[in-house]
Amino acid sequence: MNLRERQEKLEQSYLSPYAALSSKSKGRQRYEEKCSVRTDFQRDRDRILHSKAFRRLKHKTQVFISPEGDHYRTRLTHTLEVSQIARTISRALNLNEDLTEAIALGHDLGHTPFGHTGEQVLDELLEQGFRHEEQSLRVVDVLEQGKGLNLTWEVRDGIKNHTTRGNPATLEGQVVKISDWIAYINHDIDDAQRAGILKPEDVPEELVKVLGREHGQRIDTMIKDIVATSFGKPYIKMSDEIYDATRKLREFLFENVYVGSAAKTQENKAKIMLKLLFEYYTNYPEAMPPEFIKISKEENVERAVVDYIAGMTDVFAIKKFKDIFMPASWPLET
């Protein structure tokens, strides 16, 4: 019995009957010999962690576009917070922590530069529409390494279905879905307070009484409630009281941070920039890297351009915009 087989046997003996077992995975899109050390879900986690798309998350917007301060969240730190929350819940419920971690680390790989602003722009420009969760799946299936990462069905399902409109097939996927909610609601309040957009006393007192006033208190309340409500059950959910308070806290963020606040003052500039980049690369697809030129020939130009732009970081998109549309001093420095 090798190390992987031993781990698989341990999973069968101690995980919840509702957990997804790595030995029972529905498999990969393409056959591969199994690793002698890692389970399939551990292998998927490692592939995501070492991918270029994962590294690019460090320079992608969470809420604040190209933030100057060192302590504002980016898409990468958001992903790590989701992973930490999801792993805590999974471990407490005796679910498969490796599967949970793989889904959490991969859930936002397809997110655009400039956050949901970029997502809205590409959704308008691509005929079949654009959703970041579908793009995350496209990253791991097609774009990364030019052939995809060949992940297991369970990880791919969790990535595709992590948003509000999704319905993950595994409890581990459901854990990531609710952990994503917990993470961004709480860290976006923290960042908004850091930026002076919100004051601690702005959070409605009725919600503070239920969830707690501090960032850590609210997360602790939500996690413990999920564990208590879901333990030994074939579902992942909050109690009605905590869910209602969390939903109202999310609505509070939309009203005070996500729509019309000072955090959004640069959105129109980002929209114009991405639209101009889309127009330029659509007219000059040969200006893209070779792997995207290949997609433009195998599928269509618009699809290739959206893939290219969606993969850009905030910093890289701004640089490309300057290179293409901003005049340079003369003579050019060498």
In DSSP terms, 264 is beta-bridged to: none
Query: Is residue 27 in some structural domain?
Result: no
Query: Is residue 3 in some structural domain?
Result: no
First to last CA, the chain: 61
Q: Mark whether 255 and 277 lie in a shared domain.
A: no
- Which of 247, 264, 281 is where one domain is finished? 264
- Which of 244, 264, 284 is where one domain is finished? 264
Token pair in block for residue 82: 């989701």
Q: Mark whether 275 and 314 lie in a shared domain.
A: yes
Query: Is residue 32 in some structural domain?
Result: no
Residues 223 and 89: their CA atoms lie apart, in Å, by 7
Q: Give how far Cα 38 sits from Cα of 2, 43, 121, 151, 171, Å.
A: 10, 6, 40, 14, 21
Query: Is residue 14 in some structural domain?
Result: no
Range of the domain at 96: 41-264
CA dihedral 189, 195, 196, 200 (to 10 degrees): 30
Asked if residue 133 lies in contact with residue 159, where contact means CB atoms within 8 angstroms, the answer is yes
Residue 267 has pLDDT above 90, yes or no: no
Q: Mark whether 131 and 62 lie in a shared domain.
A: yes
Q: For 203, how many CA atoms within 13 A lie in the half-sphere containing its CB?
A: 22
Q: Mark whether 144 and 164 lie in a shared domain.
A: yes
Q: Mark whether 306 and 239 lie in a shared domain.
A: no
Q: Mark whether 129 and 78 lie in a shared domain.
A: yes
Mean per-residue pLDDT, 320-331:
86
Q: Mark whether 256 and 282 lie in a shared domain.
A: no
Asked if residue 23 lies in contact with residue 41, where contact means CB atoms within 8 angstroms, the answer is no
Using pLDDT thresholds of 50, 70 and 90, give the confidence band for residue 71.
Answer: confident
Q: Mark whether 315 and 174 lie in a shared domain.
A: no
Task: Name 81's Cβ contacts closer than 8 Å, sequence gap at least 6.
Answer: 73, 183, 187
Three-class SS state of 36 = coil
Q: Mark whether 171 and 290 lie in a shared domain.
A: no
pTM (2 decimals)?
0.95
Q: Mark whether 189 and 277 lie in a shared domain.
A: no
Among candidate residues 117, 130, 62, the one with its CA nearest the CA of residue 274: 117
* For the chain, the helix, strand and coil percentages under 3-state DSSP, each to the nearest 5: 65, 0, 35
- Which of 216, 247, 264 is where one domain is finished? 264
Query: Is residue 137 in some structural domain?
Result: yes
Token pair in block for residue 59: 């320079």
Using pLDDT thresholds of 50, 70 and 90, give the confidence band for residue 72.
Answer: confident
pLDDT in tens, 172-192: 999 999 999 999 999 999 999
Three-class SS state of 332 = coil
Residue 334 has pLDDT above 60, yes or no: no
Mean pLDDT of the chain: 94
Q: Mark whether 76 and 174 lie in a shared domain.
A: yes
Using pLDDT thresholds of 50, 70 and 90, give the confidence band for residue 66.
Answer: low
Query: Is residue 8 in some structural domain?
Result: no
* Total structural domains within the chain: 2
Three-class SS state of 28 = strand
Residue 264 has pLDDT above 70, yes or no: no
Give the CATH number of the domain where residue 158 resides.
Answer: 1.10.3210.10
Query: Is residue 35 in some structural domain?
Result: no
Please provide the size of the chain in residues.
334
Mean per-residue pLDDT, 227-255:
97
Query: Is residue 158 in some structural domain?
Result: yes
pLDDT in tens, 279-320: 999 999 999 999 999 999 999 999 999 999 999 999 999 999
Q: Mark whether 228 and 195 lie in a shared domain.
A: yes
Nearest-Å Rg of the Cα atoms of the chain is: 21
